[in-house]
Amino acid sequence: MDEKFLGQMADKSSEEQYSPFPEGYKIGKTKYVIITGSVISGIGKGIFSSALGKTLQDRELKVAPIKIEAYLNVDSGTLSPYRHGEVFVLDDGTETDMDLGSYERFLDMKLTKDNFTTPGQIYKKLIEKERKGEYNGRDVQYIPHVTGETKYLLRNLAIKSKADIVLVEIGGTVGDFENLFAMESARQMIYEEGPENVCLVNLTYIVEPSHLGEFKSKAAQLGLRELMRLGLQPDLIVCRSQHPVTETIKEKISLNANVPLKRVFNTYDVDNIYELPLFFRKQGIDEAIMEILHWEKIHKVNGSKSLKEWTDKNAAEKKDEVTIGIAGKYTGTSDTYISIVKALEHCSTALKTNVKVKWIETTDIETGKKKIEEELKGIDGLIIPGGFGTRGIEGKIACAKYVRENNIPFLGICYGFQMAVVEFARNVCGIKDASTEEVKHDPENNVICILPEQEEVEGLGGTLRLGGFDIKIKKDTKAWNLYGKKDSVRERFRHRFNVNTKFIEKLEKCGLIFSGMAPEKKIMQILELKDHPFFIGTQYHAEFTSRPLNPNPVYLGLVKSAIENKK
Ligand code: GLN
């Protein structure tokens, strides 16, 4: 790309262009892999991108992922788990899509707000800038302004992360109205950065209708056509299917999308997602990316050896099996609790024991539709996860009581922690109307109340107590032992309510131990019971920091105890 042309685009006084570059940006220093999806949503673009990132990391390349969402929300914080799965919380407090969890787990990285964006964020910035007159009298337009701000975010991430490769995942599907701005920004990126600096990948879906019993590639062809209609020529195509596709299918895709057959790949259902990076490596996907990005000389495969080790460790054979119940109110969609499920998988690998999940719908227990003894029968441990609102909470409280009285290993997460406090207050301390401010206003009995700092807060989006905070751990407690005798750890939070300080003394007198708290504020963050095999509650979401080969200590403690309990 002609430097003069770029300079002109970066120049604010330019009439037609708006393509701001962060200071110090140099074309070609960071390269981009842009991932789009076609045919249908829900084909695992996030997992695909994370696994691909892992293969690039394995080549000793520094990778920085960014997800560009297609919805207008400023972040994922206000989305219902029914519609969009779990809200993943980053250490800096950004509430994101669950794909960011995938990235953190696969790439073992701590991501920040720079790794996530939405059109809502971009428009907000755009409008604020327009109000300040920062567009120099120009009529503000989709092109060049929305695209200009989008490209800026990608380049900004490149500069800030000093990455070799920025991995851009465009949310939604080719043909959506919502992600057109991102597609157009990708097109411009390829033009401005040069084709040797951007690799465009399309993950497409090959249908296999059961009544035909064979693969059909038409939908994928149409999806790819649509992509090309947007001026985007894919460099590499990955066909996603349930079973391995035939060579003929790949040939059809190749011809229809002008992509050489050697750059058409296939990924299908695998038992363990951690096999994917090595699976991609064996097919030569990352090798092809290196070629497209003209990187053959400087890349190293660190390689196959370390990736093989990582894969083998993740596939460790499991001897026994334990069942962990998860008692929540969104149990119909397991994506809601995806990080919890993943944290359990990490424990499963570490302890070489299969961990089976049993979903327990607390609303059914609350309404009496299902009996608690029946529902909790056969479980070796129980998790009460986070949640909001009134529905299902009496079911959660009943579950907490049951596992406390029956010595079943228990982990309460956030709302689960709070419900364990309410249960203890009611049934051990005799505060029979104990509850939380979240469901009713009753200062006399609410052992859970609003955080003081939250009282003045207005609006819902981004206003909870969010992100990583330190936890001071009491010596010689179970928590202290779980965390390897550390006096302080850092975990991620997402809450508005907490243990009412007025009741702490009473709860402690009755035997509840608060073994972790905020260093400078009176916010209780871990609870435990003495005479119980494992009864731990955390005001934080320990699952967000669990990693494939490094499970979070409280989850590991729970599963270990469940294994003991089963014996
Ligand atoms: N609803 C509770 C609160 O806001 C718990 C939140 C959660 O479980 N993430 O404090």
In this structure, the residue with its CA closest to atom 1 of ligand 1 is: 388
In angstroms, rounded to a whole number, what is the distance separating the alpha carbons of residues 84 and 249?
A: 32
Residue 362's closest CA among 352, 353, 372?
Answer: 372
Position 302 scores a pLDDT of 63
Cβ of 240 closer than 6 Å to ligand 1, yes or no, is no
Distance in Å, CA 465 to ligand 1 centroid = 10
| Residues facing 488 on adjacent strands | 472
In angstroms, rounded to a whole number, what is the distance separating the alpha carbons of residues 231 and 493?
A: 43
Dihedral sign of CA atoms 413, 415, 421, 426 in order: negative
Q: Report phi then psi at 168, rounded to 5.
A: -105, 120
Question: Do 90 and 467 meet the contact criterion of CB atoms below 8 Å apart?
Answer: yes
Cβ of 388 closer than 6 Å to ligand 1, yes or no, is yes
Candidates 78, 393, 438: which one to mutate for ligand 1, based on the most atoms within 8 Å of Cβ?
438
Tell me: do 428 and 491 sit in the same domain.
yes
Tell me: do 268 and 364 sit in the same domain.
no
Tell me: do 431 and 488 sit in the same domain.
yes
In this structure, the residue with its CA closest to atom 8 of ligand 1 is: 386
Distance in Å, CA 102 to ligand 1 centroid = 23
Look at the chain and report how many structural domains it folds into: 2
Distance in Å, CA 94 to ligand 1 centroid = 16
Atom of ligand 1 nearest to the CA of 414: 8
Instruction: State the DSSP code for 294.
Output: T
Residue 330's closest CA among 392, 421, 413?
Answer: 392
Decide which of 312, 340, 366 is a domain's last residue. 312
In this structure, the residue with its CA closest to atom 5 of ligand 1 is: 415
In angstroms, rounded to a whole number, what is the distance separating the alpha carbons of residues 280 and 277?
A: 5
Domain extent, residue 431, equals 320-566
Atom of ligand 1 nearest to the CA of 541: 9
Atom of ligand 1 nearest to the CA of 438: 1
In angstroms, rounded to a whole number, what is the distance separating the alpha carbons of residues 193 and 104?
A: 27
Question: Do 484 and 463 meet the contact criterion of CB atoms below 8 Å apart?
Answer: no
In angstroms, rounded to a whole number, what is the distance separating the alpha carbons of residues 309 and 545?
A: 22
pLDDT tens-digit readout, 205-248: 999 999 999 999 999 999 999 999 999 999 999 999 999 999 99
Position 14 scores a pLDDT of 58
In this structure, the residue with its CA closest to atom 3 of ligand 1 is: 495
Candidates 384, 496, 523, 539: which one to mutate for ligand 1, based on the most atoms within 8 Å of Cβ?
496
Q: And the tokens for 350?
A: 């570490």
Cβ of 329 closer than 6 Å to ligand 1, yes or no, is no
Tell me: do 297 and 348 sit in the same domain.
no
Decide which of 281, 312, 343 is a domain's last residue. 312
Atom of ligand 1 nearest to the CA of 388: 1
Residue spans of the chain under pLDDT 50: 12-13
Tell me: do 303 and 448 sit in the same domain.
no
List, edge to edge, every strand of the sheet that includes 446-450: 435-436, 446-450, 497-499
**What element of type H or E holds 472?**
strand 465-473
In angstroms, rounded to a whole number, what is the distance separating the alpha carbons of residues 155 and 193?
A: 10
Cβ of 494 closer than 6 Å to ligand 1, yes or no, is yes
Tell me: do 56 and 153 sit in the same domain.
yes
Q: Report phi then psi at 346, rounded to 5.
A: -65, -40
Q: Report phi then psi at 200, rounded to 5.
A: -100, 120
Cβ of 151 closer than 6 Å to ligand 1, yes or no, is no
Distance in Å, CA 414 to ligand 1 centroid = 6
Atom of ligand 1 nearest to the CA of 494: 9
Cβ of 497 closer than 6 Å to ligand 1, yes or no, is yes
Cβ of 493 closer than 6 Å to ligand 1, yes or no, is no
In this structure, the residue with its CA closest to atom 7 of ligand 1 is: 386
Decide which of 312, 345, 360 is a domain's last residue. 312
Residue 280's closest CA among 465, 479, 53?
Answer: 53
Cβ of 555 closer than 6 Å to ligand 1, yes or no, is no
Position 378 scores a pLDDT of 92
Residue 470's closest CA among 494, 490, 495?
Answer: 490
In angstroms, rounded to a whole number, what is the distance separating the alpha carbons of residues 421 and 5?
A: 64
Tell me: do 262 and 372 sit in the same domain.
no
Tell me: do 387 and 534 sit in the same domain.
yes
- Looking up residue 20, the CATH number of its domain turns out to be 3.40.50.300
Tell me: do 394 and 298 sit in the same domain.
no
Catalytic residue set: 414, 541, 543
| Residues facing 201 on adjacent strands | 35, 236
In this structure, the residue with its CA closest to atom 9 of ligand 1 is: 386
Q: And the tokens for 18?
A: 């708006």
Tell me: do 50 and 68 sit in the same domain.
yes
Residue with the two structure tokens 């089976």: 356
Distance in Å, CA 347 to ligand 1 centroid = 25
- Looking up residue 372, the CATH number of its domain turns out to be 3.40.50.880
Instruction: State the DSSP code for 87.
Output: P
Tell me: do 392 and 304 sit in the same domain.
no
Atom of ligand 1 nearest to the CA of 389: 1
CA 502 to centroid of chain Cα atoms: 36
Instruction: State the DSSP code for 142.
Output: I
Cβ of 385 closer than 6 Å to ligand 1, yes or no, is no
Residue 113's closest CA among 132, 130, 100?
Answer: 100
Mapping DSSP onto H, E and C, the string for 476-504 reads: CCHHHHHCCCCCEEEEEEEECEEECHHHH
H helix intervals, 98-246: 99-107, 119-131, 147-161, 180-193, 218-229
Half-sphere exposure of 516 (CA within 13 A, CB side): 28
pLDDT tens-digit readout, 533-557: 999 999 999 999 999 999 999 999 9
Position 567 scores a pLDDT of 86
Distance in Å, CA 484 to ligand 1 centroid = 27
Residues 6+ apart with CB under 8 A from 243: 208, 268, 269
Tell me: do 437 and 554 sit in the same domain.
yes
Cβ of 386 closer than 6 Å to ligand 1, yes or no, is yes
Cβ of 412 closer than 6 Å to ligand 1, yes or no, is no
